[in-house]
Amino acid sequence: MTLELHKVTKKYGELTVLRDIDLIVRSGELVAVVGPSGSGKTTLLQIMGTLDQPTAGTVRVAGQDITGMPDRRLAVVRAYHIGFVFQQFFLNPTLSAMDNVATGLLYTGTPRQQRRERAAEALASVGMSHRMKHRPGQLSGGECQRVAIARAVVGRPDVVLADEPTGNLDSRSGAAVAGLLRRLNETGTTVVVITHDDRLAASMPRTVRIQDGVIQ
Ligand SMILES: Nc1ncnc2c1ncn2[C@@H]1O[C@H](COP(=O)(O)OP(=O)(O)OP(=O)(O)O)[C@@H](O)[C@H]1O
Ligand SMILES: [Mg+2]
């Protein structure tokens, strides 16, 4: 599945955060997005992932123009095509790892029993079968991020968008998370990762560098 941004501009009032961005991420790519703090990386990822809309320009997800699409239709596009991973994990602290992952399937209308089976599979794929009943507060940071990755992939998305997924982790957990993303890409998922880690970026086949809202 291809993600296409054409002449995307994002403004907050007078502030132009992204300027005339043209970017195509093709099916099966593994892309690092790098750039200084405040350069517009997160804004770019949120627009690519339909969580935010551009002020001008067009965004196509799997050939479909999503600009101006109503929220409930965007939620469906996301549920079937896009998984997200964030630096701060954003897990629900009151739910077990299993239930956090199973909620990733709510919008797909998958029956409850099947949601649980798929969640268990996804947790197994990130090496977390032994912690399915733990809540986020009972898990390490690296374990939380593995649960968040399981939640991102449980719907078998075509694309995973990760915003500094290793930013809050020690180097060993970070390497494990980077390895999971790489493996995910090897099995056919398109992966876009924002990172401040130069080594991680250098190890990826493609790097997109952004500065002051412009791709270099
Ligand atoms: N909702 C908003 N309202 C106003 N300004 C915003 C908003 N969101 C982001 N910005 C501004 O847009 C710019 C780009 O923000 P963005 O979060 O995309 O940067 P970033 O490259 O992800 O930075 P970091 O590496 O620190 O995460 C920043 O200057 C930020 O202050
Ligand atoms: Mg950011």
Instruction: Transcribe 10-41 into DSSP letters.
Output: EEETTEEEEEEEEEEE-TT-EEEEE--TTSSH
- The full set of domains in the chain, from first to last, is 29-52+69-215 (3.40.50.300)
pLDDT at position 37, please? 96
Indicate the top mutation candidate among 19, 39, 87, 211 to test ligand 1's pocket, ranked by most ligand atoms within 8 A of CB. Answer: 39
- Give the number of other CB atoms < 10 A from CB of residue 215: 18
CB distance 88 to ligand 1 below 6 Å: no
Residue 66, ligand 1, Cβ within 6 A = no
Give the integer Cα–Cα distance in Å for 44 and 64: 18
Residue 7 is predicted with a pLDDT of: 98
Residue in the block written with tokens 């502030």: 15
3-state secondary structure of 48: helix
Q: 17 CB under 6 A from ligand 1?
A: yes
Q: What residue's CA is closest to ligand 1, atom 7?
A: 12
Atom 29, ligand 1: residue with shortest CA distance? 38
Say which residue the tokens 């500065």 belong to: 211
Instruction: Work out which ligand 1 atom sits closest to the CA atom of 213.
Output: 14
State the virtual CA torsion across 163, 166, 168, 173 in degrees, nearest 10. Answer: 150
CB 145 within 8 A of CB 127: no
Which residue's CA is minimally distant from atom 30 of ligand 1? 38
Closest ligand 1 atom to residue 39 Cα is 21
Residue nearest (by alpha carbon) to ligand 1 atom 24: 37
Q: Is 43 in the pocket of ligand 1 (CB under 6 A)?
A: yes
Atom of ligand 1 nearest to the CA of 164: 27
The pair of three-digit structure tokens given for residue 101, joined into one six-digit string: 């992952």
The per-residue pLDDT for 76 is: 86
Q: Which atom number of ligand 1 is nearest to the Cα of residue 43?
A: 18
Atom of ligand 1 nearest to the CA of 13: 4
Sequential pLDDT tens for the chain (216 residues): 899 999 999 999 999 999 999 999 999 999 999 999 999 999 999 999 999 999 999 999 989 999 989 999 998 889 889 999 999 999 999 999 999 999 989 878 899 999 999 999 999 999 999 999 999 999 999 999 999 999 999 999 999 999 999 999 999 999 999 999 999 999 999 999 999 998 899 999 999 999 999 999
Say if CB 59 and CB 8 are below 8 A apart: yes
Tokens, residue 45:
């990822």
Kind of pairing between the strands at 15-25 and 30-34? unpaired
- Quote the CA–CA distance of 8 and 138 in Å, as a whole number: 41
Q: Is 72 helix (H, G, I), strand (E, B) or coil?
A: helix
The finding on whether 10 has its CB within 6 A of some atom of ligand 1 is no
Per the document, the length of the chain is 216
Indicate left, alpha or beta for 89 from its phi (over 0: left) and psi (-120 to 50: alpha): left
Q: Checking phi first, is residue 195 left (phi over 0); if not, alpha (psi -120 to 50) or beta?
A: beta
